[in-house]
Homo-oligomer: A and B are copies of this chain.
């Protein structure tokens, strides 16, 4: 096919994409040249999606384009960062113009929404694999980290969790759900909303934060490990969607919320002393966070409870680990 790498970038990834003033030079040189606001720190995240592993042929190209940016912006959100620039490494088996049309459309939509400038990357031939590196910034010293949780801090989760896992299970015919519920949860699996505004609002409020990509149990576990603390979580407080609670048993809904990933909500902790400010900020955010428990001093110990008794439905299943 007489369609070159340079044409590809020119056709699909250049025109009518959002431009930012802090990009001195974007696509078209050996590397991009950027300026950073003064007194700020740079935040950098990288995530890869591999065809056949993170998505399959059922997933529309537009959703692939949205999601590969969304998962990276979700990492920036978990740091409290303002997103700015994306690099894209795109490995494609062949020049599939229809797929590229959809993919670049999905990617451009989310770049438009968050004012992200695609500053460069690489296109190569090979098995379909996408890597995005996302860059953002925070005022110096304000980044949210995993290692700041203290005993007594309250634990919150934004939005609802377990929906993306339900969508995947339904798609793999492991569970039967209604068409309308399926459409709703599939939207969450395919077009996750990174909690960018919430993350930034939490900068001076939360003591720690993480995005839920591998499941609440695994990701809260990362906070506990990094902060050297424990947690008590009341399983009846987990924020569950109607789609989830109406599709599976009450106990299974909790299991989806705990163990399935890909929801890209934020899990974060708030010290007692910041709860007043937090409630004020909260009122402005649509992804209203729910308090699910409290940090304890028992290092690395996550207690799942119901009415202050151990939850009987707990099992040992952890989060998603690619080489587990």
Residues of A within 8 A of B (CB): 1-6, 8, 24-25, 28-36, 38, 41-54, 75-76, 78-79, 81, 85, 87-89, 91, 95, 119-127, 129, 131, 133-136, 138, 140, 143, 145-147, 209-211, 226, 321-324
- Evaluate whether A95 and B323 lie within 8 angstroms (CB atoms) in the complex, with A44-B87, A89-B46 already known: yes
Residues of B with C-beta under 8 A to A41: 24, 33-35
CB distance from A222 to the nearest CB of B (A): 9
- Evaluate whether A33 and B143 lie within 8 angstroms (CB atoms) in the complex, with A41-B24, A48-B122, A54-B124 already known: yes
Point out the residue from B8, B53, B323 that lies within 8 Å of A5, measured CB to CB: B323
How many Å lie between the Cα of A147 and that of B5 in the bound state? Answer: 20
How many Å lie between the Cα of A34 and that of B45 in the bound state? Answer: 11
Point out the residue from B51, B79, B120, B131 that lies within 8 Å of A29, measured CB to CB: B79
How many Å lie between the Cα of A324 and that of B30 in the bound state? Answer: 20
Tell me the nearest residue of chain B to A71, going by C-beta.
Answer: B122
Q: Which 7 A-B pairs have the closest CB atoms?
A: A50-B126, A31-B45, A127-B127, A89-B131, A30-B78, A131-B131, A133-B133
Tell me the nearest residue of chain B to A47, going by C-beta.
Answer: B122
Point out the residue from B34, B50, B121, B209 that lies within 8 Å of A42, measured CB to CB: B34
Residues of B with C-beta under 8 A to A76: 30-31
Query: Are A50 and B127 in contact, CB atoms less than 8 angstroms apart?
Result: yes
Point out the residue from B8, B79, B147, B323 that lies within 8 Å of A4, measured CB to CB: B323
23 example contacts (A-B, Cβ-Cβ < 8 A) are as follows A1-B323, A5-B321, A5-B324, A24-B41, A25-B143, A30-B76, A31-B76, A31-B81, A33-B138, A34-B41, A36-B36, A36-B42, A44-B87, A46-B87, A48-B91, A50-B126, A51-B126, A53-B124, A87-B133, A89-B89, A124-B322, A125-B323, A131-B131
Point out the residue from B30, B122, B322 that lies within 8 Å of A125, measured CB to CB: B322
How many Å lie between the Cα of A33 and that of B81 in the bound state? Answer: 10
How many Å lie between the Cα of A29 and that of B3 in the bound state? Answer: 40
Point out the residue from B35, B44, B91, B210 that lies within 8 Å of A119, measured CB to CB: B44
Query: Are A29 and B145 in contact, CB atoms less than 8 angstroms apart?
Result: yes
CB distance from A68 to the nearest CB of B (A): 11
How many Å lie between the Cα of A179 and that of B134 in the bound state? Answer: 45
CB distance from A297 to the nearest CB of B (A): 22
Point out the residue from B4, B29, B322 that lies within 8 Å of A324, measured CB to CB: B4
How many Å lie between the Cα of A28 and that of B145 in the bound state? Answer: 10
Give 15 new A-B contacts, CB below 8 A, not counting A30-B209, A33-B143, A131-B131: A30-B78, A31-B44, A31-B79, A31-B136, A34-B43, A42-B42, A44-B87, A46-B89, A46-B120, A48-B91, A48-B131, A50-B124, A52-B126, A123-B323, A126-B129
Residues of B with C-beta under 8 A to A125: 50, 53, 322-323
Point out the residue from B31, B38, B136 that lies within 8 Å of A43, measured CB to CB: B31
CB distance from A60 to the nearest CB of B (A): 20
CB distance from A224 to the nearest CB of B (A): 14
Residues of B with C-beta under 8 A to A47: 89, 122
How many Å lie between the Cα of A151 and that of B324 in the bound state? Answer: 59
